[in-house]
Chains A and B, each alone.
Chain A
Amino acid sequence: MTFATMLSTMSEGMVRTLGIFILTLIFSLPLGMVVALLRKSRFGFIRGFISAYISIMRGTPLMLQLLVWYFGPFYLFGWNIGNWRFPALIIGFVVNYAAYFAEIYRGGIESIPVGQYEAAEVLGYTKTQTFMRIILPQVIKIIMPSVTNEVITLVKDTSLAFTLAYAEVFSLAKQISASQSSFMPFLIAGVFYFVANYVVEFVMVRIEKSMDYYK
């Protein structure tokens, strides 16, 4: 196998890696907010359910969670779902990352002084307006560094997709390396991940800077 073929095969893998990455972010960022808000629900059983969910997501390996999502439907319920590999993967990542984002959001929401809510209430803002106009913009600024961290971790965590034998860049690197007895695929994979995270950092720093106009 020539270097060029190796590179082009692995680029296809990188596209799949980025697919997992982007889909996970698209769903888990908003889902995390829903989870964070439900955690403050006035119904005890919802709060209990949410905190158990977060504990499990944080307390067990993501790799194990992916296996459960993939094999669970068959072994637990006898369901044979066609083309289940990719959906299982995305669900696993989204549900896991939503839990982490929810905790970040919660920290951010709790750090907003109560005076902000009171000022908004006295001015007559509705609860929704208060959250969307006053609280959320401030929360986003506060949580940005933690979100950046989590997003960078996600880029690297996509490699866990190899456990479900999904042909993203890490699975391919292992495969090609074994078949070609070459170390090169690992180096290429390393460069791919690094470049992806370099871009993530660049973008996140720009977003953080754009919120520097107030303290």
Chain B
Amino acid sequence: MILEMNNIEKHFGELEVLKDISFNVDSGEVVSIIGPSGSGKSTLLRCATFLETIDGGEIIYMGEKAAHTDAYGNAVYVHQNEMRKFRNYCGLVFQQFNLFPHYSILKNIIDAPMHVQGRSKEEAEADAMELLSKMGIEDKANAYPYQLSGGQQQRVAIARALAMKPEILFFDEPTSALDPELTGEVLKVIRQLAEEKMTMVVVTHEMPFAKAVSNRVLFMAGGVVVEQGDPKDVFDNPQEERTKQFLRVFER
């Protein structure tokens, strides 16, 4: 098991965003998370990637506990030094790409491997060029983010995340900021990664994509996992009323 999240609780002030959510990801699995906005999908990803701290429950990567609830009911994380190891297990691709505008495409990809992981420039560059050619944009290595289309920028963001060699890669609505015609090129890259058995969790509104690519679909609403299972079952034969209601919107 790459990731186990057990009984996760998260609230912002009075608002309960995640209510006792448990969810696992196995090696090589592609999990899609769907659901209406405000359902806690993004918050779940942000908790899994340590951008948000949980208020209760446990997060376990590769069998090692990163956070758990202590005897007093407070969520405790491992010490900061150990945290770096856990951050290294996971990568995240953002909706807004968040490339570093002052770095060239190549530098965006090699900077963290060099300065966080301490890898040599030669090695990092060789890896980066390989990733860029896989993303079909090796000719953009020396360009700057503003010179690229949204779809290209998102592919660079994926390459940047992959360059850290994560065990698991999270996507937070990776195509929501893109024009429909640019969506396809990003989804194609994710599909290709799925074929290579990259472990991934994708929060998405692209239902046909979720159905075609994922091994498992989670439907979230109101801070809970309403339904999960094989994509065919969830999409074609949903059991819960809330799921049916949500999927009907997409049939229109």
Contact = CB atoms under 8 A, between A and B. Distances in A.
A116 B116 CA distance: 16
Interface stretch (A27-35, A57-65, A118-126, A148-156): A118-126
Interface residues of A, number: 19
Contacts of A134: 100
Contacts of A133: 111, 115
A124 B88 contact: yes
B146 A129 contact: no
A182 B113 CA distance: 68
Interface in A65-117: 113, 115-116
Given A122-B51, A123-B164, A125-B116, A116 B88 contact: no
A118 B170 CA distance: 14
A210 B91 CA distance: 33
Chain A interface, >50% SS class: helix
A118 B92 CA distance: 10
A116 B98 contact: yes
A12 to B, nearest CB: 43
Interface of A: 113, 115-116, 118-119, 121-125, 129, 133-134, 137-138, 141, 213-215
25 contacts: A113-B96, A115-B96, A115-B98, A116-B98, A118-B94, A118-B98, A119-B98, A121-B87, A122-B87, A122-B90, A122-B91, A122-B161, A123-B112, A123-B116, A124-B84, A124-B87, A124-B88, A124-B112, A124-B117, A125-B115, A129-B115, A138-B102, A141-B102, A214-B144, A215-B101
Contact of A121 (B51, B96, B100, B101): B51
A52 to B, nearest CB: 30
A118 B157 CA distance: 13
Contacts of A141: 102
A113 B160 CA distance: 19
B145 interface: yes
Q: Report the interface size class on chain B.
A: 20 to 34
Interface of B: 49-51, 84, 87-88, 90-92, 94, 96, 98-102, 111-112, 115-117, 144-146, 160-161, 164
A119 B87 contact: no
Nearest to B116: A124
A116 B103 CA distance: 12
B116 A137 contact: no
Given A116-B100, A122-B51, A133-B111, 9 more contacts: A115-B96, A118-B98, A119-B94, A122-B90, A124-B87, A124-B112, A124-B164, A214-B146, A215-B146
Sorted nearest first, the 9 A-B pairs with minimum C-beta distance are: A119-B98, A115-B98, A123-B112, A124-B116, A215-B146, A122-B92, A214-B144, A124-B87, A137-B102
A180 to B, nearest CB: 54
Nearest to A119: B98
Nearest to A112: B101
A121 B115 CA distance: 13
B88 to A, nearest CB: 6
Contacts of B87: 121-122, 124
Nearest to A140: B102
Interface centre among A118, A129, A138, A213 (most CB of B within 10 A): A118
A134 B115 CA distance: 12
Contacts of A124: 84, 87-88, 112, 116-117, 164
Nearest to B112: A123
Contacts of B84: 124
Interface centre among A118, A124, A133, A141 (most CB of B within 10 A): A124
A118 B160 contact: no
Interface centre among B49, B84, B102 (most CB of A within 10 A): B102
Contacts of B115: 125, 129, 133
Contacts of A215: 101, 144, 146
A138 B145 CA distance: 14
A188 to B, nearest CB: 43
Interface centre among B98, B145, B146, B161 (most CB of A within 10 A): B98
A124 B82 CA distance: 12
Contacts of B98: 113, 115-116, 118-119
